[in-house]
């Protein structure tokens, strides 16, 4: 069941199905659908799996029968979701950087859990694709298995982003010092926004900044001040 504010799986699936039917720029459309779904609620492993699976179900419903077109659509879908997850990892990184500077608000366990969630993003994404492939037609399964194998060999955008971010975060947390971490554990709040919620909010900000016309709105505000 979706949390309050989260886009339901039916809506995500329907959006993906319509995107395939439109046929234009599948990579960008799947990126946008995934990004929008992840800005709602929390960026947590179960939500990432749910969104990925829902997008794939929608694609399967509208996918063409011709193998060449089918391979192209699945490839662009995987790429679009990968790019959206890269931005989700970026948002999680920003949230953890903020949390590291507010150790009185978050416990060491909060930070560790958030880092573990980020570290799992690539494997969780590819495992979800693999599991979906196992329960679909033979032609879909062969294509998706090939895409997963290629992604594991060559790496993914989300995998690269998480590896770089986690290394920097580990250094930052070490520099915070053991005493500060202990103080954070002792004073951690039991209520308020979780790091996963913070990350979703930051991802929404990233999505807004990327939206068409975002630069124009900024310019208009600047003009008003003159």
Q: What is the pLDDT along the chain (226 residues), one digit of tens a residue?
A: 445 445 689 999 999 999 999 988 999 999 999 999 998 877 888 899 999 999 999 999 999 889 999 999 999 999 999 999 999 988 888 888 777 666 666 667 777 788 888 888 999 999 999 999 999 999 999 999 999 999 999 999 999 999 988 888 877 777 665 444 444 444 433 333 576 666 776 677 766 665 655 545 444 444 544 4
> Measured between alpha carbons, how far is 56 from 48 in angstroms, rounded to an integer?
12
Residue 72 lies in a domain: yes
Are the beta carbons of 204 and 88 closer than 8 angstroms? no
Residue 141 lies in a domain: yes
Residue 92 lies in a domain: yes
pTM of the model as a whole: 0.79
- Smallest CA-to-CA distance from 199 within 106, 107, 114 is with 114
DSSP 8-state class, residue 3: P
Q: Is 136 helix (H, G, I), strand (E, B) or coil?
A: coil
> Measured between alpha carbons, how far is 120 from 2 in angstroms, rounded to an integer?
21
Residue located via tokens 């859990």: 113
Torsion-angle region of 213 (φ positive above 0: left; ψ -120 to 50: alpha; else: beta): left
Residue 135 lies in a domain: yes
Residue 4 lies in a domain: no
Total domains in the chain come to 1
> Model confidence over 184-221: pLDDT tens digits?
444 433 333 576 666 776 677 766 665 655 545 444 44
Domain containing 110: what range? 9-187+200-209
For residue 152, what pLDDT is reported? 95
Residue 32 lies in a domain: yes
């Amino acid at each position: 069941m979706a949390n309050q504010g989260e886009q339901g799986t039916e809506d995500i699936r329907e959006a993906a199905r319509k995107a395939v039917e439109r046929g234009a720029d599948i990579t960008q459309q799947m990126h946008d659908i995934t990004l929008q779904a992840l800005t709602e609620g929390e960026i947590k492993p179960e939500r990432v799996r749910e969104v990925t699976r829902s997008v794939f179900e929608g694609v399967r419903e509208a996918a063409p029968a011709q193998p060449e077109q089918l391979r192209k659509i699945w490839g662009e879908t995987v790429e679009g979701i990968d790019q959206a997850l890269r931005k989700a990892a970026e948002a999680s990184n920003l949230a953890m950087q903020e949390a590291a500077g507010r150790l009185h608000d978050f416990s060491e366990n909060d930070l560790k859990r958030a880092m573990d969630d980020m570290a799992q993003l690539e494997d969780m994404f590819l495992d979800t694709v693999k599991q979906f492939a196992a329960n679909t037609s033979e032609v879909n399964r062969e294509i998706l298995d090939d895409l997963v194998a290629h992604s594991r060999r060559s790496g993914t955008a989300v995998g690269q982003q998480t590896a770089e971010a986690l290394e920097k975060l580990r250094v930052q947390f070490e520099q915070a010092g053991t005493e500060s971490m202990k103080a954070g554990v002792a004073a951690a709040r039991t209520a308020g926004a979780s790091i996963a919620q913070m990350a979703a909010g930051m991802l929404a900000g990233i999505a807004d900044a990327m939206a068409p016309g975002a630069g124009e709105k900024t310019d208009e505000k600047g003009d008003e001040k003159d």
